[in-house]
Structure 1
Amino acid sequence: MSTESTVQAFRASLLHFHADPAFTADAHTWIEDGLLVVEDGRVKAAGDHAALLPTLPPGAPVADYRGKIICPGFIDTHIHFPQTDMIASPAPGLLPWLDTYTFPTERRFEDPAHGRATADFFLDELLRNGTTTALVYCTVHPGSVDALFEASAARRLRMGGGKVLMDRHCPDFLRDSADMRDSQALIERWHGKGRAMYAITPRFAPTSTEAQLVATGELAKAYPDTFIQTHVAENQDECAWVGELFPQRRSYLEVYEHYGLMRPRAMFGHCIWLDDTDFARMADTGAAISHCPTSNLFLGSGLFDLARADNAGAPVSLGTDVGAGTSFSMLQTMNEAYKVARLKGSYLPALRMFYLATLGAARSMRLEGTIGNFVPGAEADFIVLDPKATPLLARRTAHSDALEETLFALALLGDDRAIQATYALGRRVHERGAAAG
Structure 2
Amino acid sequence: MQLIKARVLHFPRSTGNPEQEFEYFAAGALVIDGQKIKAVGPEEVLSRQFPEAQVIDKRHCLLVPGLIDSHNHFPQTEIIASFGEQLLQWLENFTFPTEQKFASYEYARKIADIYLQQLFQNGTTTALAYCTVHPQSVDALFDAASEHNMQIVAGKVCMDRNCPEYLRDDASSAYQDSRDLIEKWHKQGRNLYAITPRFAPTSTEEQMTLLGQLAAEFPDTFIQSHVSENTDEIAWIKSLYPKDKDYLGVYERFGLVRERAVYGHGIHLKKREWKTLAKSGSVIAFCPSSNLFLGSGLYDMSAAISYRVSTALASDIGGGTSISMLTTQADGYKVCALNHYSLQALRGLYLMTQGPASSYRLEHQIGNLNPDTYADFVCFDLDSNELLRTRLQNGKGHAADIWFALTFLAGDRCVDSTWVAGIPVFEK
TM-score interval (norm. to shorter): over 0.9
Cross-structure match for 1:158 = 151
Cross-structure match for 1:352 = 347
Q: Deviations over 1:379-413 (max 9, x none)?
A: 11000011222221111111111322211110112
Cross-structure match for 1:47 = 41
* Corresponding letter in the other structure for 1:331: L
Q: Distance in 2 between matches of 1:111 and 1:225?
A: 29
- Tell me the TM-score normalized by structure 1: 0.96
Q: Distance in 2 between matches of 1:363 and 1:272?
A: 23
Q: Distance in 1 between matches of 2:75 and 2:22?
A: 36
Unaligned stretches of 5+ in structure 2?
A: none
Shift of 1:22: 5.2
- Does the C-alpha gap of structure 1 residues 166 and 239 become closer, same or farther in structure 2, counting only changes over 3 Å? same
**Would you say the 8 A contact 2:274–2:307 is kept in 1?**
yes
**Would you say the 8 A contact 1:217–1:261 is kept in 2?**
yes
* Corresponding letter in the other structure for 1:142: P
**Would you say the 8 A contact 1:92–1:299 is kept in 2?**
yes
**Would you say the 8 A contact 2:2–2:33 is kept in 1?**
yes
Shift of 1:152: 0.4
SS in 2 for 1:132: strand
What pairs with 1:205-284 in structure 2 (closer than 5 Å)?
205-284=200-279
- Does the C-alpha gap of structure 1 residues 66 and 369 become closer, same or farther in structure 2, counting only changes over 3 Å? same
Moved more, 37-46 or 281-290: 37-46
How many corresponding residue pairs?
Answer: 425
Q: Distance in 2 between matches of 1:101 and 1:169?
A: 15
Q: Distance in 1 between matches of 2:189 and 2:12?
A: 26
Shift of 1:137: 0.2
Q: Distance in 1 between matches of 2:392 and 2:201?
A: 47
Cross-structure match for 1:426 = 422
Would you say 1:412 and 2:408 are equivalent positions?
yes
- Tell me the TM-score normalized by structure 2: 0.98
Cross-structure match for 1:285 = 280
Cross-structure match for 1:77 = 70
SS in 1 for 2:362: coil
Shift of 1:91: 3.5
Task: From 164, 169, 180, give the equivalent of 1:171.
Answer: 164
**Would you say the 8 A contact 1:294–1:320 is kept in 2?**
yes
Would you say 1:194 and 2:184 are equivalent positions?
no
Shift of 1:24: 5.7
**Would you say the 8 A contact 1:90–1:97 is kept in 2?**
no
* Corresponding letter in the other structure for 1:248: K
Q: Deviations over 1:23-81 (max 9, x none)?
A: 366310000111101112111110011111122152x2111101211100000000000
Q: Distance in 1 between matches of 2:246 and 2:41?
A: 48
SS in 2 for 1:26: coil
* Corresponding letter in the other structure for 1:122: Y
Cross-structure match for 1:33 = 27
* Corresponding letter in the other structure for 2:245: R
Could you tell me the percent identity over the aligned residues? 46
Cross-structure match for 1:4 = none
Deviating 4+ runs (over 2 angstroms): 18-26
Q: Distance in 2 between matches of 1:21 and 1:228?
A: 24
Would you say 1:319 and 2:314 are equivalent positions?
yes
SS in 2 for 1:53: helix
Shift of 1:229: 0.3
- Does the C-alpha gap of structure 1 residues 62 and 239 become closer, same or farther in structure 2, counting only changes over 3 Å? same
RMSD: 1.1
* Corresponding letter in the other structure for 2:338: L
Q: Distance in 1 between matches of 2:252 and 2:137?
A: 28
Q: Deviations over 1:337-386 (max 9, x none)?
A: 00011000010111111111111121222211210001111111000011
Would you say 1:298 and 2:293 are equivalent positions?
yes
Cross-structure match for 1:365 = 360
**Would you say the 8 A contact 2:310–2:359 is kept in 1?**
yes
Moved more, 20-29 or 354-363: 20-29
